[in-house]
Structure 1
């Protein structure tokens, strides 16, 4: 394999569409010194990416000379990004001069235009952390920064699945609990369900659990937060499923700050492959942050006007906040309630510009029995169509299956209900 091919392999992070998961960037400071507006624009766009929420980034023009001048009498940030299109000797000279002012621990990322393995080796020998070939794209830049803080050989970071309803009473919590159960059972994969509805959460009831402590202890005592503390608070539901239950009491107010759950998510990501967040129907700084930062989002709606309005508003907001991610998934729940006028699923999908991942019919006996018994749907009726639907949703959310198109006859709620009941 020639030198150019080797460097091309090293620079694969510049690809725009990446199947490999990108870990969130930790709370660090970054200063970028660009030569071209294109690179500056790409980095400015990267600032808005959900994985960069904790990073503090400043973008300057002027390239390597501006970086040298900026740090002559100022401390250096965690990461310095320099775009330099100069020849090899000039670039190495700039780096040798910059090294005189760099603080210990500062990482340097170079963006250049030369696809030269010998230049790459010279840069690595001088302590440069990474070299990217221009032009860089948003995800390529985010991945490069993320990998600077990834431990070689470490266990892949856990994935966060956020489930939210577009209004109260659409069954989002029930869906979150059953999906967490399906992930843990079907894939035999360690899963944690976090009930974030501190005042009225139902996860403890749905799993027939009554733990004395849970997520509130973490939120109100962040100074105690570490892996051991979280592990002591987890309530074991099955061999592979654990629960961080909500207190579901009103003895105190739950006015939480935007970053209230950040530390918890970081701890869970480090050791748990699957984290399912049951997000209550509230719109606060922290709930928005949890949705925007999640790896996958499932939005649950019912076929009525309020759900349609709220779904469109929520989906538009999430699309704008997550420009580099796939669209959230949509599940239509409580479809086919007898004698209730409904918006057809096809009209709903057209209005929100998103086809549903699945359609769950109105089955009050099945869901009511499960809720009253503290069991999951698959425990009540393993062979039911809804059990199969929940399993399929879990597979799509975790990337183990592709989203299948909804059949045309399923877009009519009554035919959907009849077809499921006949089978």
Structure 2
């Protein structure tokens, strides 16, 4: 994702204007303040004689090579040194491209340019080849309170870590009522609230100290479970925390509270995948529609939005079906989780996940494994059940067979 910045653009042609209008629909530009004007380089030169420079400037020119160079020289006198400038022009000449790059232009694009090409050019300005890769972000939120979104988040994170054997960070962002520590039977070192209260000090080393390991591949950043002394959450603080988490693991799962605030909306818009968890009832259907409509608008479409129906058959006679949700929302549920109060209750009381307390063959365990595999984009490898391994069983058989032969 592109950092929080301002991008000004001065277009000449309708094609360039259309390409610029594409940018707000790209999730990488969610934090970008975009201002589009007409008039090309000459209008930009006049504008910045009276206004401060943005972080990025996109300008279009219809001039020949010498005219373009003269326009850029005039512009350079009006803008701040070091400004990143992307030029769109009509001169199709590798020599002019090299000349522009040599004089400090960030990129030169041949007109007409389309939205994806322009977006890729701007994104490349912030790509650091030496930077650590950022893990995929999975955000989980309930369509209504009590939908079981936390149970889904916890068990999916566990399935990804234990089943896929990849490092996963689970972040419980329900500061007041989060249950991740209880669900995994963990004692938090420091809470999410403490991490968010000192964002200026927060770095990868400090964040790692805050997290608690659960198994070989899962780390949990949880809440303290009290209503005292937690900070006002800002978008900048929570984005920094999540970005650091993404630098530490290839998969980050967020357990979001049932809140519609600036910071929850920002995370939902940025996430690679969003799991909307709902019970199969009418109120949940209404709230799912509102939630999915809002998220589609902010994310530039429905890509990455997933619906998870939970507690199916809790009220079999009056519940809505998966087909009812699909017909109304135009999105097929990715998973339909059965109502299993005893299994969920036993796991919660034991501080375990369903696969630990009920076994991997339990239908809820299998459902969470399938959901995790869908998110991972590949089948999860079969894991041996706890107890005797295959190698250990073979060793026992080898010992028993000779003993029987000599008896």
Structure 2 residue matching 1:261: 3-state secondary structure: helix
Give the 3 Å change call, closer, same or farther, for CA 74–168 of structure 1 in structure 2. closer
> Are 1:305 and 2:282 matched, yes or no?
yes
Q: How does 1:167-246 map to 2 (within 5 A)?
A: 167-246=144-223
Give the 3 Å change call, closer, same or farther, for CA 134–181 of structure 1 in structure 2. farther
User: Which residue does 2:72 correspond to in 1?
Assistant: 95
Give the 3 Å change call, closer, same or farther, for CA 85–153 of structure 1 in structure 2. farther
> Are 1:393 and 2:380 matched, yes or no?
no
Q: More deviation in 230-239 or 113-122?
A: 113-122
User: Which residue does 2:393 correspond to in 1?
Assistant: none
> Are 1:382 and 2:343 matched, yes or no?
no
Structure 1 residue matching 2:284: 3-state secondary structure: helix
- C-alpha distance after superposition, 1:364-404 (max 9, x if no partner): 22222221111112223112333232222223223337xxx
> Are 1:31 and 2:8 matched, yes or no?
yes
* Deviation, structure 1 residue 342: 0.8
Q: TM-score scaled to structure 1, two decimals?
A: 0.82
> CA separation in 2, counterparts of 1:356 and 1:207?
27
Structure number with bigger Rg: 2
Structure 2 residue matching 1:161: 3-state secondary structure: strand
State whether residues 15 and 114 of structure 2, in contact with CA within 8 Å, keep that contact through their aligned partners in structure 1.
no
- C-alpha distance after superposition, 1:305-349 (max 9, x if no partner): 111111111111111222255151111111122655211211121
Give the 3 Å change call, closer, same or farther, for CA 122–368 of structure 1 in structure 2. same
> CA separation in 1, counterparts of 2:54 and 2:138?
32
In structure 2, list runs of 5 or more residues that go unmatched.
380-407
Return the match for 2:41 from 42, 64, 87. 64
> Are 1:165 and 2:142 matched, yes or no?
yes
User: Which residue does 2:292 correspond to in 1?
Assistant: 315
In structure 1, list runs of 5 or more residues that go unmatched.
1-23, 402-423
> CA separation in 1, counterparts of 2:133 and 2:112?
28
* Deviation, structure 1 residue 55: 2.3
* Deviation, structure 1 residue 74: 4.9
* Deviation, structure 1 residue 353: 1.3
Q: More deviation in 306-315 or 123-132?
A: 123-132
Structure 2 residue matching 1:223: 3-state secondary structure: coil
* Deviation, structure 1 residue 30: 1.9
Q: TM-score scaled to structure 2, two decimals?
A: 0.85
Give the 3 Å change call, closer, same or farther, for CA 250–85 of structure 1 in structure 2. same
CA RMSD of aligned residues (A): 2.3
User: Which residue does 2:399 correspond to in 1?
Assistant: none
> Are 1:328 and 2:293 matched, yes or no?
no
> Are 1:86 and 2:73 matched, yes or no?
no
Return the match for 1:278 from 250, 255, 267. 255
State whether residues 189 and 211 of structure 2, in contact with CA within 8 Å, keep that contact through their aligned partners in structure 1.
no
* Deviation, structure 1 residue 149: 1.2
State whether residues 166 and 310 of structure 1, in contact with CA within 8 Å, keep that contact through their aligned partners in structure 2.
yes
Give the 3 Å change call, closer, same or farther, for CA 298–152 of structure 1 in structure 2. same
- C-alpha distance after superposition, 1:154-179 (max 9, x if no partner): 33222211011111111111111111
Give the 3 Å change call, closer, same or farther, for CA 309–75 of structure 1 in structure 2. closer
Matched pairs, number: 378
Give the 3 Å change call, closer, same or farther, for CA 128–209 of structure 1 in structure 2. same
Give the 3 Å change call, closer, same or farther, for CA 136–156 of structure 1 in structure 2. farther
> CA separation in 2, counterparts of 1:395 and 1:114?
49
User: Which residue does 2:402 correspond to in 1?
Assistant: none
State whether residues 138 and 254 of structure 2, in contact with CA within 8 Å, keep that contact through their aligned partners in structure 1.
yes
- C-alpha distance after superposition, 1:166-219 (max 9, x if no partner): 111111111111111222233332221110111110110111101141210122
State whether residues 199 and 254 of structure 1, in contact with CA within 8 Å, keep that contact through their aligned partners in structure 2.
no
> Are 1:125 and 2:93 matched, yes or no?
no
Structure 2 residue matching 1:320: 3-state secondary structure: helix
Give the 3 Å change call, closer, same or farther, for CA 72–339 of structure 1 in structure 2. closer
